[in-house]
């Protein structure tokens, strides 16, 4: 029965985890999968999560199913975090809990598929390596819009706008709210405004991947594009993840928010979405979302979380600076200032796949094949070795 299947190559990001673990060189560096690391190279559980978990241990009396739409403390909390105070009628919006951001994207893709067979989703070139496979698996067509120039390490902003102008009315545009994965390069608020104006004129529907809120410039600052969009569009899809900003990677905590034109449509969208959820994974996992829900309902814990998140963001910014300075000190022929300009965990280093391979084989430095680095893997201790090694392969 299975003989017609072909072999699927391993995921280019996830395979780095096992390759890195199998490497026994003491000076190896992991700049692969997007997981935060502190100055000692550890990925600790946030202390505010530990507190919420203690609370859950004490108060949760049951492991019975939660509802299909998830925990209301969680869904209300993340909705408020993204949308802020707004005047949208509540009956046009719903947020459901999902098993991480990836499930949210997949559920949204399934929803698009049943809403219109001809719909096409436009993704940035480049984009997160799982966007296209998710759309593909749901049977949704996709095309790419220009986004990043690997020669100049800047946004291809004018080309992106030109492309958006020519996208057929009713198509969907998948965008990263902040901390663009893999480049870390985001439009500024003025550029977002221009993107929104063109999309409005061309009747395009925004689909936002909000996986890194709080890691670029702050929780509210990072939500600027979303908040501009809810003023401008009457239909909007947002997939969010708490993997990075709550450090809950393996607990699979995410949400899907859909804003519809009116309350009648919203009811239908919600019921169809819940049917998709029921047939894919049924009720969502509880633990991580219950911890987030508890934190977001408790002012003291929320404030503690914001402080921890600030530390995370500041460390990422510092490591960007340290790497950029260390590289500048090594070579004056290459410009690495884009590493400092980018946001969040990722940047393109600006090296070729062959050089990426050489860094792995000769120096034990691991990154995604196109030269995407996770800056959280950099420490003050390893930054010089990293810069020296990059210099050697350049
Ligand atoms: C990444 O891009 O490294 C993360 O989002 C983890 C993943 O699942 O790819």
Instruction: Find out whether 164 and 108 touch, Cβ atoms under 8 Å.
Output: no
Return the ligand 1 atom nearest residue 241 CA: 5
Nearest CA to ligand 1 atom 4: 34
Query: 265: CA distance to ligand 1 center in Å?
Result: 33
Which stretches does DSSP call E strand in 313-370? Answer: 346-348, 365-366
Which stretches does DSSP call E strand in the chain? Answer: 29-30, 93-98, 120-125, 141-146, 148-149, 154-155, 172-176, 205-210, 236-241, 254-259, 346-348, 365-366, 372-374
Task: Output the furthest CA–CA distance in the chain (Å, rounded).
Answer: 63
Instruction: Determine the Cα–Cα distance for residues 187 and 228; give it in Å rounded to an integer.
Output: 13
What pTM, to 2 d.p., does this model score?
Answer: 0.97
Which stretches does DSSP call E strand in 112-213? Answer: 120-125, 141-146, 148-149, 154-155, 172-176, 205-210
Query: 37: CA distance to ligand 1 center in Å?
Result: 14
**Which of 130, 134, 240, 248, when mutated, tests ligand 1's pocket best, judged by the most ligand atoms within 8 Å of its CB?**
130
Structural domains of the chain in order of their starting residue, each with its CATH number:
12-44+313-393 (3.90.1150.10), 65-297 (3.40.640.10)
Q: How confident is the model at residue 301 (pLDDT cuts 50, 70, 90)?
A: very high
For 154-184, what is each residue's pLDDT tens digit? 999 999 999 999 999 999 999 999 999 999 9
Beta bridge partners of 353: none
Q: How confident is the model at residue 333 (pLDDT cuts 50, 70, 90)?
A: low
**pLDDT value, residue 247:** 98
Query: 13: CA distance to ligand 1 center in Å?
Result: 7
Catalytic positions, please?
A: 128, 209, 244
Nearest CA to ligand 1 atom 1: 34
Tell me what the pLDDT averaged over the chain comes to.
96
For 201-235, what is each residue's pLDDT tens digit? 999 999 999 999 999 999 999 999 999 999 999 99
Return the ligand 1 atom nearest residue 128 CA: 2
Cβ < 6 A, ligand 1 pocket = 13, 33-34, 128, 130, 181
Query: 101: CA distance to ligand 1 center in Å?
Result: 10
Query: 34: CA distance to ligand 1 center in Å?
Result: 5
For 2-39, what is each residue's pLDDT tens digit? 999 999 999 999 999 999 999 999 999 999 999 999 99
- Convert 268-307 to b/e letters by CB count within 10 Å (16 or more is b): ebbeebbebbeeebebbbbbbbbbbbbbbebeebeebbee
**Which of 14, 30, 33, 210, when mutated, tests ligand 1's pocket best, judged by the most ligand atoms within 8 Å of its CB?**
33
Per DSSP, the chain holds a count of helices (H) and strands (E) of 15, 13
């Amino acid at each position: 029965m299975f003989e017609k299947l072909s072999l699927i190559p391993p995921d280019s990001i996830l395979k780095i985890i096992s390759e890195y673990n199998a490497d026994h060189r003491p000076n190896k560096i992991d700049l692969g999968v997007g997981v935060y690391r502190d100055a000692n190279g550890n990925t600790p559980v946030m202390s505010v999560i530990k507190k919420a978990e203690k609370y859950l241990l004490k108060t949760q009396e049951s492991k019975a199913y939660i509802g299909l739409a998830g925990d209301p403390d969680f869904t209300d909390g993340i909705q408020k975090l993204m949308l802020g105070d707004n005047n949208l009628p509540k009956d046009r919006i719903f947020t459901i809990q999902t098993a991480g951001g990836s499930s949210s994207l997949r559920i949204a893709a399934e929803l698009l598929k049943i809403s219109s067979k001809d719909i096409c989703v436009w993704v940035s070139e480049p984009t997160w390596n799982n966007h296209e496979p998710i759309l593909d698996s749901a049977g949704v067509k996709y095309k790419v819009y220009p986004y990043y120039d690997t020669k100049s390490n800047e946004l291809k902003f004018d080309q992106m706008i030109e492309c958006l102008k020519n996208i057929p009315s009713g198509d969907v545009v998948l965008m990263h709210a902040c901390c663009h994965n893999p480049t870390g390069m985001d439009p500024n608020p003025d550029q977002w405004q221009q993107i929104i104006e063109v999309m409005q004129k061309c009747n395009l529907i925004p689909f936002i991947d909000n996986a890194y809120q709080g890691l670029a410039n702050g929780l509210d600052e990072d939500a600027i594009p979303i908040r501009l969009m809810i003023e401008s569009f009457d239909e909007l899809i947002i997939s969010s993840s708490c993997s990075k900003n709550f450090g809950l990677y393996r607990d699979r905590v995410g949400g899907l928010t859909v804003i519809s034109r009116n309350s009648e449509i919203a009811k239908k969208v919600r019921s169809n979405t819940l049917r998709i959820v029921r047939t894919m994974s049924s009720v969502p996992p509880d633990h991580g979302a219950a911890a987030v829900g508890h934190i977001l309902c408790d002012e003291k814990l929320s404030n503690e979380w914001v402080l921890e998140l600030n530390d995370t963001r500041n460390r990422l910014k510092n490591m960007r600076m340290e790497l950029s300075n260390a590289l500048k000190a090594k070579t004056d022929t290459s410009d690495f200032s884009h590493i400092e300009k980018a946001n969040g965990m990722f940047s393109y280093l600006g090296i070729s796949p062959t050089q990426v391979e050489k860094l792995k084989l000769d120096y034990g430095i691991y990154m995604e094949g196109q030269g995407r680095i996770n800056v959280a893997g950099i420490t003050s201790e390893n930054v010089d070795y990293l810069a020296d090694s990059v210099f050697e392969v350049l």
